[in-house]
Amino acid sequence: SPLPNLRVMSTPQPPPPPPSPTHTRASNTQIAATAASLVMILASALSWILPLLRKPALAKRAYVMALQCALFVHGSRVVTNMRQRMIAEATATRAPTDTWRERLALVANVFPHIAATTDFQYSFATIIFFSTATTRPVAVALIPTTVLAIYHVVVFFNGKIGQSMLWRGYGGNKAMAFLRSHQQQALMLNAQAEVVALPLLLIHAFAGGKTAAGYVMAFAYAQYLRLRYKCADARRYHVDLWNRIYASVASVTNRVGMTPLLDRFAGYLAR
């Protein structure tokens, strides 16, 4: 007689491994950065609107809060990027990291790569603009970090709930498509805001009683613009913008004999 049909029991699958501490930490950092980005967007908007409503004190508070959120968002990414690069560098080179000198040497090797990132450079610029918070806020300085925050927030939610009816019903997909199609214009807007902030800082230095701190901040910001000029994310837009500025003022500088000074500044940026 034929053998009875035996029910083949499937081998129970082992439970999925728990997320690693590194993955959990990165996920928590991303959530915290997204929350801070939302606060930064709101604070930046208030810092631009409240002066129109004759609320300068509240506008300054919103300006400071936006800078604090920007420093947290970009600073946390710098720390995460630094940690990952140090681990990768130590693994690739098998460099010892037992003593503080060995760890310091590893940091020195990794730091040039970190300094070339937008997150590090925005953190640097944010620290500079903290110096203007108590006197005359430079509202245009919030544009680059706010634009970047909007992109990061929309991308975050699109990745988390992009397929949900709620996201689609309230125009999340349209917002994502709009930001993607206007990315080049947004990056050029950031470059324009970054460049315009330099003369505003110089005006701030003169209006603030010609203090040494004001000049130091303006000089530090000029160094920041050099970093942006060489940054892979921003170089294309900064080179294009400075070429436009150079062409538009060339006739004036030729008449007043300031072309050598303009050439020297262009060389300073490219160095």
Average pLDDT over residues 159-174: 83
**Residue 143 pLDDT exceeds 80:** yes
Instruction: Give Cα separations from 69 to 39, 50, 74 (angstroms).
Output: 7, 19, 9
Average pLDDT over residues 184-202: 90
Give me the pLDDT at residue 74, please.
93
**Residue 18 pLDDT exceeds 70:** no
Residue 171 has φ and ψ, to the nearest 5°, of: 85, 20
> For 107-119, how does the pLDDT look when each residue is reduced to its tens digit (9 = 90+)?
888 888 899 999 9
Q: What 3-state DSSP class applies to 209?
A: coil
Maximum CA extent, the chain: 111
Give me the pLDDT at residue 142, please.
92
Which contiguous run of DSSP H or E holds residue 6? Answer: none
DSSP 11: P
* CB neighbour list of residue 70: distance below 8 Å, 6 or more residues apart: 40, 122, 123, 126, 142, 145, 149
Query: Residue 40 — pLDDT band, cuts 50, 70, 90?
Result: very high
Exposure pattern of 259-270 as b/e (b: 16+ CB <10 Å)? eeebeeeeeeee
Query: DSSP H helical segments within the chain, as ranges?
Result: 21-49, 56-93, 100-115, 118-130, 142-161, 165-169, 172-181, 183-207, 212-230, 235-256, 259-270
Rounded distance between C-alpha atoms, residue 104 and residue 110, angstroms: 10
Place of tokens 């919103």: 62
Lowest mean pLDDT, pick from 45-49, 54-58, 110-114, 167-171: 167-171
Structure tokens that stand for 78 in this block: 């710098």
Rounded distance between C-alpha atoms, residue 224 and residue 101, angstroms: 29
Query: Residue 6 — pLDDT band, cuts 50, 70, 90?
Result: very low
| Residue 148 or 265, more confident | 148
Query: Residue 166 — pLDDT band, cuts 50, 70, 90?
Result: confident
Query: Residue 9 — pLDDT band, cuts 50, 70, 90?
Result: very low
**Residue 2 pLDDT exceeds 50:** no
Nearest-CA neighbor of 253 among 261, 264, 243, 244? 261
Cα end-to-end distance, the chain, whole Å: 91
Contact 141, 68 (CB under 8 A): no
What is the rounded average pLDDT for all residues in the chain?
82
Give me the pLDDT at residue 7, please.
44
